[in-house]
Chain A
Amino acid sequence: MAATGSLTASAPVRGRPNRVTLLRIGIIVAVLAGWELLSRSGWLYRDVVPSLFAIGKAIVALLSSGEYYFHLGVTAGEILAALAIGGVLGLIVGLLLGGNRFLAAAFESYLYYLGPTPKIIFFPILIMWFGVGPGSKIAMGVLSAFFPIALSVAAGMREIDRVLIRVGKSFRATTWQMATKIYVPAMRHPIINGVRLGLGVGLIGTLLAETKLSNKGIGYLIIQAYTLFDMPRMYAMLIVLFVLAIGANALVGRLGGLSNIKRR
């Protein structure tokens, strides 16, 4: 959303981007000022809307504690594992569905219906299968990331320029060579797009699972801060997490941008 906004907004006013920038900064300042006003007004409990100063202090405290980084590492590891497993599974299933009309006709509708289903409803089952630890969180992330990647790869495979496949066949490429040297590179854009979507929902799935039942990870810390009613700390974590999520998304987006340059 933010990305498309910046594209459409900054393109026409290339010569004088100041107004756009000013407006953006203005909105942030307005939100922060509103927050601070709300905090001081006393309309809500002081602790529910802590002052900016209290949140700032909590962020500093958070970023200087080793415990936080441990939990951050756990969550990051879970998300990476989920993305790796979900990505490979999604890629394989996507290739199978994209390459085989029969399989696609038989199974693809399942993916379309299961894809948007909130995966958190499977979490109780995952806890029973994989335990309270990171295992069930990874499984949750895999379940979330798998669908967009599989669907994106399947759709991408159908859009491959057919002549490239004929070229591969005419040079008598083996099935493995066709997959690694033609299909996958030809589908780099839908694959990166799928990974990007997968990262987004995988992140949500993993964190959501952590907030439900866990003993480590950022989601666990957030819900712990909530139960202890340590609001500044909770907000601090949300803000840091928000920034990290934006960074991760930008990183995957950058990967896609790089391959775009090489394309044409």
Chain B
Amino acid sequence: MSASSATAPRSASPPQPGEAILDVDHLHVAFQTPDGPVIAVEDVSLTVRKGEFLSIIGPSGCGKSTVFNVVGGLLTEHEGRVSVAGETIVGPHPSIGMVFQEESTFPWRTVIDNVAFPLELTGMPKAQRLERARHFIEMVGLQGFERRYPGELSGGMRQRVSLARTLASEPKILLMDEPFAALDEQTRLLLGDKVLQIQQELQQTTLLITHNITEAVQMSDRILVMTYRPGKAKRIVEIDLPRPRTSEIVGSEAFGRYVAQIWADLREEASRGLTDDETSRNRGSAS
């Protein structure tokens, strides 16, 4: 059932033309835990088209971060096939750039050296890579902070450094795992604007993992809603809002309808997660 609901919208008319660049085919991931195997992701299929912004949304514990790790090539023990432009992913792929949820800047490197990091790995000459890095620092709006250390910046600025660093590797697909989760609401909205602007400017194919409905609707062309444990694809929602978008779109009526629609889907899953949490907590306190 889950497979059909996930694959059905794929054949429907695409929100924007473009060939499929990322293909997740019947992904299935199970973890061994002391309490027996736990199915994190069950039979998820999805396709991301070139230039498209696709979000995966779901409650905590729906396995969306697992999808992130599989697509990023950091988790290779799974069933099903994940491929980028026809190439099966067996490890971190050069076409995919990851932005992590956690604080991930290198505290011992300045902003510019952080951003130049992926270029340094490829052996690009210093002058050239610093110039490239400067370009992406400007893109995320951090010019003037090149020589600062991450410890001297705010959390939002550090996350922008991480974003610039990933963009500097010029990935075909930008893969983000709740990159704004640790930020306050205002910073989150402003940073969301920045990401949207950059994504539209670069025509950057993006796969965003999030649990924030507003964020997902504001940025996405399509949203994949996942169920609570085991994580299955529940529905794909196409967001037919005009582009270019900014955070102002949040006030529109159409926006509200999408949010309500997705919340209706998510609510059920989130409350299932909640009861699950409570029962396990009760069980824990009883023993």
B-contacting residues of A (Cβ < 8 Å)? 161, 163-164, 166-167, 169-174, 177, 181-182, 185-186, 188, 259, 262-264
Contacts and interface: CB of A to CB of B under 8 A. Distances in A.
Contacts of B91: 172
B114 to A, nearest CB: 10
A163 B121 contact: no
B198 interface: no
A170 B74 contact: yes
B104 A172 contact: no
A185 B104 contact: no
B104 A163 contact: yes
Given A167-B104, A170-B72, A170-B92, 9 more contacts: A163-B100, A166-B98, A170-B73, A171-B169, A172-B92, A181-B121, A185-B106, A186-B106, A262-B107
B94 interface: yes
Contacts of B72: 170
A262 B148 CA distance: 9
A169 B92 contact: yes
B120 interface: yes
B79 to A, nearest CB: 22
Nearest to A184: B108
Interface residues of B, number: 24
Given A177-B121, A262-B108, A170 B98 contact: yes
Given A181-B120, A262-B149, A263-B151, A172 B108 contact: no
Given A170-B74, A172-B92, A262-B108, A163 B102 contact: yes
A263 B169 CA distance: 25
A166 B74 contact: yes
A173 B121 contact: yes
27 contacts: A161-B102, A161-B103, A163-B100, A163-B102, A166-B74, A166-B98, A167-B104, A169-B74, A169-B92, A170-B73, A170-B92, A170-B96, A171-B92, A171-B118, A171-B169, A172-B92, A181-B120, A181-B121, A185-B106, A185-B109, A186-B106, A186-B108, A188-B108, A262-B108, A263-B108, A264-B107, A264-B151
B209 to A, nearest CB: 14
B117 interface: yes
